[in-house]
């Protein structure tokens, strides 16, 4: 039995992973400052609720949280792209500097493995070279992707110079029930289900045949547990965690309307205005280039999963339709 610390543990993936690991008789500690996570995600589990740590990954004395910890999943971060553009200093502190902070604390601890949640966004300027392979040279330039890429480099530094066992996981689009749909700007699939169930027309900004990789949360969790249990020592090796299959926004919308046996009906938004709700990106002396926003909206992003499938002897099992049905059931309840 291992003691496992999950930073960002009150978020969607962190809390779901915590529940799985507790069932496997591991001792699990969730750490979160609750700025982006929610108590609702874990308080229905007594073990997780009792061991929850209200703290920030930027804490100067982070080592005090590592007593008896064997494995760390580092999920803490700011994921919303426009929010990172709006506050780049905070984004870099949380997404990049915190990784150095936690790894530095690990050097004087008994932590045996560090698993870092990176992102497929690092491939944002590799389109149209899909599917994306882990050994591709990447050229991110939005703040979110840049902050995550910089964090990957920090992971490599600690792995190479201190011989620490570190795994870099590039998450593609994770979806599933329990993904927060109540917040003002929820993830795409949860947003769509919420709007349709409420009898409102969802707005789609990308109606082109541009596809993105979606991996169901249970499949992602299976990968993460296999990575955790691997006896190999990884020197900041990178693995794509995706399904290897792409779906366009309109394919997903049509699938949802079909599942719910509802007439297809949605609004089409202007990609140029996709981030307009973030006023300070467009009212300064230098404003965000709207062509860059359009490029992000029309980004084609599919994982090459051969390396991951071969390494961990697993391939995703849940297809898009099954996953969407589970989201609908959860929101209806």
Q: What is the mean pLDDT of the chain?
A: 95
Q: Could you give the CA distance from residue 98 to residue 77 in angstroms, rounded to a whole number? A: 9
What is the domain extent for residue 228? Answer: 3-174+215-243+303-317
Question: In this structure, what DSSP letter does residue 130 have?
Answer: P
Domain membership of residue 193 (yes or no) is no
Domain count, the chain: 1
Between 312 and 208, the more confident residue is 312
Domain membership of residue 290 (yes or no) is no
Q: Could you give the CA distance from residue 113 to residue 181 in angstroms, rounded to a whole number? A: 32
Domain membership of residue 273 (yes or no) is no
Instruction: Read off the CATH number of the domain in which 156 is found.
Output: 3.40.50.720
The pLDDT value recorded for residue 304 is: 98
Let me know: does 32 contact 10? Beta carbons within 8 Å.
Answer: yes
User: Phi and psi dihedrals of 244, rounded to 5?
Assistant: 85, 0
Q: Could you give the CA distance from residue 31 to residue 34 in angstroms, rounded to a whole number? A: 9
Which tokens belong to 295? Answer: 């490029």
Between 17 and 183, the more confident residue is 17
Sign of the Cα torsion 267, 271, 277, 279 reads negative
Domain membership of residue 87 (yes or no) is yes
Domain membership of residue 327 (yes or no) is no
Domain membership of residue 259 (yes or no) is no
What confidence category does residue 326 fall into, taking pLDDT thresholds of 50, 70 and 90?
very high
What confidence category does residue 184 fall into, taking pLDDT thresholds of 50, 70 and 90?
low
Domain membership of residue 196 (yes or no) is no
Domain membership of residue 270 (yes or no) is no
What confidence category does residue 204 fall into, taking pLDDT thresholds of 50, 70 and 90?
very high
Let me know: does 45 contact 39? Beta carbons within 8 Å.
Answer: no
Q: Omega of the bond prior to 60 within 30 degrees of 0, cis? A: no
Least Cα distance to 143 among 96, 85, 86 occurs for: 85
What confidence category does residue 127 fall into, taking pLDDT thresholds of 50, 70 and 90?
confident
């Amino acid at each position: 039995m291992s003691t496992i610390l999950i930073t960002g543990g009150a978020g969607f993936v962190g809390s779901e992973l915590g529940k799985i690991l507790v069932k496997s008789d591991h001792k699990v500690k969730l750490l979160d400052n609750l700025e982006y996570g929610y108590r609702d995600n874990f308080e229905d589990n007594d073990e997780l609720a009792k061991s929850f740590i209200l703290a920030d990954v930027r804490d100067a004395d982070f080592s005090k949280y590592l007593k008896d910890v064997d494995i760390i999943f580092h999920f803490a971060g700011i994921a919303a792209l426009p929010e990172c553009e709006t506050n780049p200093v905070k984004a870099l502190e949380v997404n990049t500097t915190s990784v150095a902070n936690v790894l530095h604390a690990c050097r004087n601890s008994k932590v045996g493995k560090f698993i870092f949640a990176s992102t497929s966004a690092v491939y944002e300027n590799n389109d149209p070279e899909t599917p994306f392979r882990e050994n591709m040279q990447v050229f991110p330039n939005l703040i979110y992707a840049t902050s995550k890429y910089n964090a990957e480099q920090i992971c490599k530094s600690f792995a190479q110079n201190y011989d620490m066992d570190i795994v870099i996981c590039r998450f593609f689009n994770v979806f599933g029930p329990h993904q927060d749909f109540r917040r003002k700007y929820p993830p795409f699939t949860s947003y769509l289900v919420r709007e349709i169930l409420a009898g409102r027309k969802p707005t789609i900004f990308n109606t082109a045949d541009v596809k993105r990789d979606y991996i169901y949360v249970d499949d992602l969790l299976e990968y993460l547990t296999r990575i955790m249990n691997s006896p190999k020592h990884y020197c900041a090796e990178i693995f794509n965690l995706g399904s290897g299959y792409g779906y366009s926004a309109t394919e997903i919308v049509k699938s949802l309307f079909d599942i719910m046996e509802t007439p297809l009906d949605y609004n089409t938004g202007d990609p140029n205005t996709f981030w307009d709700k973030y006023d300070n990106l467009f009212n300064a002396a230098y404003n965000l280039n709207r062509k860059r926003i359009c490029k992000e909206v029309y980004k084609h992003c599919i994982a090459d999963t051969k390396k991951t499938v071969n390494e961990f002897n697993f391939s995703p099992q849940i297809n898009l339709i099954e996953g969407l049905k589970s989201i609908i059931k959860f929101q209806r309840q």
